[in-house]
Amino acid sequence: MFDAEGRQDGSTCPECGRSDQTIRWHFVEGFDEIECKACGYRSDELALQELHREARNTLDREDDVAPPRTDPLRA
């Protein structure tokens, strides 16, 4: 579990643009996250998506080693 302190500091939500419904969580581990009560945005979910995308990119690179598809083009 993370130790976090949340406060409404007027950060602007990157999703809906509101600044009166956001809570910035400051983690003692040294990073911040923004949570938006208006639209449900959470910056940590975005970070998770980035991680998943990197994992998929790694898989894609392995796919490149496989033989290319040789299906004939269709008009």
CB 26 within 8 A of CB 5: yes
Verify binding: residue 38, Zn ion, rule CB under 5 A: yes
CB of 5 to Zn ion, least distance (A): 20
Nearer to Zn ion among residue 45 and residue 56 (C-beta): 45
| Residue 33: φ, ψ to 5° | -135, 150
Choose among 43, 48, 4: nearest CA to 22.
Answer: 43
Nearer to Zn ion among residue 25 and residue 64 (C-beta): 25
CB of 37 to Zn ion, least distance (A): 8
Please report how many Cα atoms fall inside a 13 Å half-sphere around the Cα of residue 10, on the Cβ side.
0
Verify binding: residue 37, Zn ion, rule CB under 5 A: no
Verify binding: residue 34, Zn ion, rule CB under 5 A: no
